[in-house]
């Protein structure tokens, strides 16, 4: 049977010699590119400057100490075991915090993608089988005489297998900047988790103090109801005895009903505050008696509070670190965008085996392949799109630098607001204590004098109204003192250190994810450093190649 040869094939020995020559060229090219690829486009990130005062405005107050302190469990200064248990439960069960922990896993996986892009971007095995039938009435078979064409086998069975690779070289540092951006993004995800942890501990504490404050206000309201009931009974007795008019009775009843009406409003607020704590604890709204354990006193404030100096905020507050890492990530993206202004260099090739209508696919005669030791692509006509993209990235970077500076200013404002509120509200409480005691004594005297007929009911009415207001203000003031103190610790960035050595994602969630997807060793917890100066800076790729918590 005649053989139809469609392609001219070189001898195998000649092909192998050419492949060895290409390999040498590729090796030399790699060496040259490695020697010349030290340039990295884009700015190298430096910690931005921010305006910071040397000391706090209220530092001269005897209650304020410009000394560093351990803020990891700041709520323990309130000496309330119920609050300690609430915060511990919230840190374990809060769903928003768990989402923030999962975002760390996401950022870790994204960093793995960025690292992988530094190596050959396309590496694939290919293979297949195909059956082809050629037309005898079309070239090249139609050009043969009919007798030869009719005897020719116009079919082919082709089996092939091979390996393909393509590698865009990181000549201008595009992929290195990509790793830098992803690395800073991972650091930002950790800072975001810490920021949420600071907010969570402050919100649980504040909601708990609100509940205790409302309970105190309820106690005062119920006490005043009993006092006003006595006044009403006295007015009724005197009216029935003909000593006074009905006016006294109606005034006493009106005041009593008005005070009683405040109780349901306070009970609504208590329930709403409890529902808020339920959500923070990651449980459905319901009875919190197992956690709150009945009415209790408003926590007391410590005699002294250490606040350090303003410069400490730059290293302690996780939201400031978050702003810094976000700026670092964006700065790296400028270099990624600038890479498109220059030519892209790549190498590639394919090697494999192919055979048709015969056996021996892995024999030397079946070897096929090609190498591209050098290729480049340069987007020269883009009508300003690339330059404007660089400008977009640079504008975003500058925005984040200004955002960082503004975050520092806001942090200082929050500390100052908390300190002045904490100090001045304590001064207010001293006056309110005296005012409430005087109002209580005035109410007792007025009731006694009215009972003996020495004064009219207007004085009783005024003293009872004043007592209700003063006691309610006193309870609110005592709650405000602790809430301002909580605001101080929150603004100082306290509480995030409590996550060190603990699982930030529930074990059940990790187990479910491990069964669903191959996470390798990323689900194995490790501890991050405790001290702020030991935390990642956005360039610690080796640290971030490991699990993060």
For residue 99, the model assigns a pLDDT of: 94
150 CB-near residues (< 8 Å, 6+ apart):
136
- Please report the DSSP string for 351-386 in residue order: EEEEEESSS-TTSGGGEEEEEEEEEEE-----TTHH
pLDDT at residue 41, as a whole number? 87
State yes or no: pLDDT of 541 exceeds 90.
no
Mean pLDDT of the region 135-142: 71
Q: Please give the residue that has the higher pLDDT: either 194 or 34.
A: 194
- State yes or no: pLDDT of 33 exceeds 60: no
Please tell me the predicted confidence (pLDDT) of residue 12: 45
**Amino acid 164: pLDDT:** 86
Q: Which of 154, 157, 117 is nearest to 139 (CA)?
A: 154
% of the chain beyond a pLDDT of 90:
48
pLDDT at position 157: 78
- Per the omega criterion (within 30 degrees of 0), is the bond before 461 cis? no
Q: Mean per-residue pLDDT for 1-13?
A: 38
Distance, CA of 198 to CA of 193 (rounded, Å): 9
Top-confidence residue, 501 or 115: 115
Residues 180, 138: contact at Cβ < 8 Å?
no
- By mean pLDDT, which of 118-132, 278-292, 318-332 is the weakest? 118-132
The pLDDT value given to residue 1: 33
Pick from 48-62, 277-291, 415-429, 457-471: least confident: 48-62
Q: How far apart are CA 493 and CA 509, in angstroms?
A: 28
Question: Could you give all domains of the chain from N- to C-terminal order, each with its CATH number?
Answer: 37-42+61-118+170-300+314-343+378-543 (1.20.1600.10)
Whole-model pTM: value is: 0.84
Asked if pLDDT for residue 545 goes beyond 60, the answer is: no
Residue 51 has a pLDDT of 85
CA 473 to chain centre: 38
pLDDT higher at 282 or 34: 282
pLDDT at 85: 95
CA distance 313 to 298: 29
Please check whether residue 256 is in contact with residue 229, taking contact to mean a CB–CB distance below 8 angstroms. yes
- Which stretch of 204-208, 413-417, 534-538 has the lowest confidence by average pLDDT? 534-538
293 compared with 327, residue with greater pLDDT: 327
What DSSP assignment string belongs to 28-84?
HHHHHHHHHTT---SPPP-PPP----SS-TTTTSTTEE-S----TTGGGGG--HHHH
Q: How far apart are CA 190 and CA 321, in angstroms?
A: 10
Q: What does the pLDDT average to over 394-398?
A: 95
Q: In this model, does residue 9 exceed pLDDT 70?
A: no
Rounded CA separation 525/503 (Å): 7
Q: Is the pLDDT of residue 47 over 90?
A: no
Residue 36, pLDDT above cutoff 50? no
Backbone angles phi, psi at 380, to 5 degrees: -90, -30
Q: Are strands 64-65 and 122-133 parallel, antiparallel or unpaired?
A: unpaired
**Between residues 233 and 19, which one has the greater pLDDT?**
233
- Least confident segment among 17-26, 90-99, 195-204, 231-240: 17-26
pLDDT at 5 (0 to 100): 35
Rg value, the chain, Cα: 39
Q: What is the pLDDT of residue 532?
A: 47
Instruction: Among 80-84, 385-389, 430-434, 519-523, name the one with the lowest average pLDDT.
Output: 519-523
């Amino acid at each position: 049977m005649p053989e139809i040869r469609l392609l001219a094939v070189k001898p195998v020995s000649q092909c192998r010699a050419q492949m060895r020559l290409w390999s040498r060229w590729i090796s030399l090219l790699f060496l040259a590119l490695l020697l010349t690829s030290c340039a990295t486009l884009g700015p190298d990130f430096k910690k931005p400057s921010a305006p910071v005062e040397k000391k706090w405005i209220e530092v001269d107050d005897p209650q304020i100490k410009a000394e560093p302190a351990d803020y990891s469990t700041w709520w323990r200064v309130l000496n309330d075991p119920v609050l300690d248990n609430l915060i511990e439960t919230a840190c374990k069960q809060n769903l928003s915090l768990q989402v923030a922990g999962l975002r760390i896993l996401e950022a870790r996986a994204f960093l793995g993608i960025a690292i992988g892009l530094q190596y050959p971007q396309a590496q694939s095995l290919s293979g297949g089988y195909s059956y082809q039938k050629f037309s005898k009435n079309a070239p090249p078979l139609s050009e043969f005489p009919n007798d030869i064409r009719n005897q020719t086998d116009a079919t082919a069975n082709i089996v092939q297998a091979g390996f393909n690779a393509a590698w865009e070289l990181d000549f201008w540092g595009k992929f290195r900047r990509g790793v830098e951006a992803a690395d800073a993004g991972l650091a930002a995800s950790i800072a975001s988790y810490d920021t949420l942890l600071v907010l969570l501990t402050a919100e649980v504490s504040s909601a708990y103090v609100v509940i205790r404050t409302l309970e105190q206000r309820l106690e005062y309201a119920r006490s005043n109801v009993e006092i006003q009931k006595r006044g009403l009974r006295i007015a009724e007795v005197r009216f029935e005895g003909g000593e006074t008019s009905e006016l006294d009775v109606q005034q006493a009843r009106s005041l009593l009903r008005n005070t009683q009406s405040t109780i349901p409003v306070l009970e609504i607020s208590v329930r709403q505050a409890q529902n808020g704590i339920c959500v923070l604890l990651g449980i459905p709204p319901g009875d919190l008696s197992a956690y709150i354990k009945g009415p209790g006193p408003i926590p007391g404030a410590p005699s002294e509070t250490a606040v350090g100096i303003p410069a400490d905020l730059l290293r302690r507050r996780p939201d400031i670190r978050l702003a810094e890492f976000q700026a670092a990530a964006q700065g790296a993206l400028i270099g990624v965008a600038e890479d498109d202004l220059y030519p892209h260099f790549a190498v590639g090739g394919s090697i494999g085996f192919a055979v048709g209508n015969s056996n021996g696919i892995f024999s030397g005669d079946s070897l096929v392949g090609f190498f591209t030791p050098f290729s480049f692509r340069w987007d020269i006509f883009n009508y300003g799109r690339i330059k404007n993209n660089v400008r977009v990235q640079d504008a975003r970077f500058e925005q984040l630098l200004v955002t960082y500076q503004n975050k520092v200013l806001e942090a200082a404002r929050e500390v100052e607001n908390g300190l002045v509120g904490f100090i001045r509200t304590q001064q207010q409480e001293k006056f309110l204590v005296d005012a409430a005691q005087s109002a209580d004594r005035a109410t007792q005297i007025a009731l006694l004098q009215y009972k003996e007929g020495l004064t009219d009911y207007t004085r009783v009415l005024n003293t009872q109204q004043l007592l209700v207001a003063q006691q309610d203000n006193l309870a609110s003031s005592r709650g405000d003192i602790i809430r301002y103190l909580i605001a101080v610790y929150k603004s100082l960035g306290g509480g995030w250190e409590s996550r060190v050595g603990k699982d930030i994602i529930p074990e059940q969630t990790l187990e479910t994810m491990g069964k669903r997807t191959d996470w390798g060793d990323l689900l194995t917890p490790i501890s991050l450093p405790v001290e702020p100066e030991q935390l990642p800076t956005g360039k610690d790729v080796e640290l971030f190649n490991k699990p993060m918590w």
